Amino acid sequence: MSTKKTRTEVETHDQIIAEVRRNRERREKTYREWALKIYPWICARCGREFTGKRLRELTVHHKDHNHDYNPPDGSNWELLCLYCHDNEHSWHQDEDWYNEATPGDEQEPPSTHKPFAGLDALLKDKK
């Protein structure tokens, strides 16, 4: 029962959280980049155009609200600005968008999270 052990546990826990976050960010980045390649940089709701730094405000929405479903043809994606995306989710309350914004809510879905295999295959294909 040393404080050292406790600290290690805390660090491990932090590392896991960091890793989960990294994975999520990486995954989001990947499909977002892909979506930005195949779609014009315009919000599908309000029609605003995004370029340069403001491109950060353009996010990928999943039409079926399952962000593990990422068909490489983009048929499940919609580019939405932060505001429209928020709107889109405020009445669905699904985890896609609110994941980050609900501290204390430890409803991280079980290990069903799969980095979209289809996209990988297609990337390989195109090369």
Using CB under 5 A, list all residues that contact Zn ion: 43, 45-46, 61, 81, 84, 96-97
- Cβ of residue 43: shortest distance to Zn ion, in angstroms? 3
What's the rounded Cα separation, in Å, for the pair 41 and 34?
A: 12
Contact 81, 57 (CB under 8 A): yes
- Cβ of residue 64: shortest distance to Zn ion, in angstroms? 10
Nearer to Zn ion, 1 or 101 (CB): 101
- Cβ of residue 75: shortest distance to Zn ion, in angstroms? 15
Provide the residue count of the chain.
127
- Cβ of residue 46: shortest distance to Zn ion, in angstroms? 3
Q: Around 110, how many Cα atoms within 13 Å sit in the side-chain half-sphere? A: 0
Nearer to Zn ion, 35 or 81 (CB): 81
Contacts of residue 54, Cβ cutoff 8 Å, sequence gap at least 6: none
Nearer to Zn ion, 41 or 72 (CB): 41
Nearer to Zn ion, 3 or 91 (CB): 91
Contact 78, 71 (CB under 8 A): no
What's the rounded Cα separation, in Å, for the pair 10 and 36?
A: 38
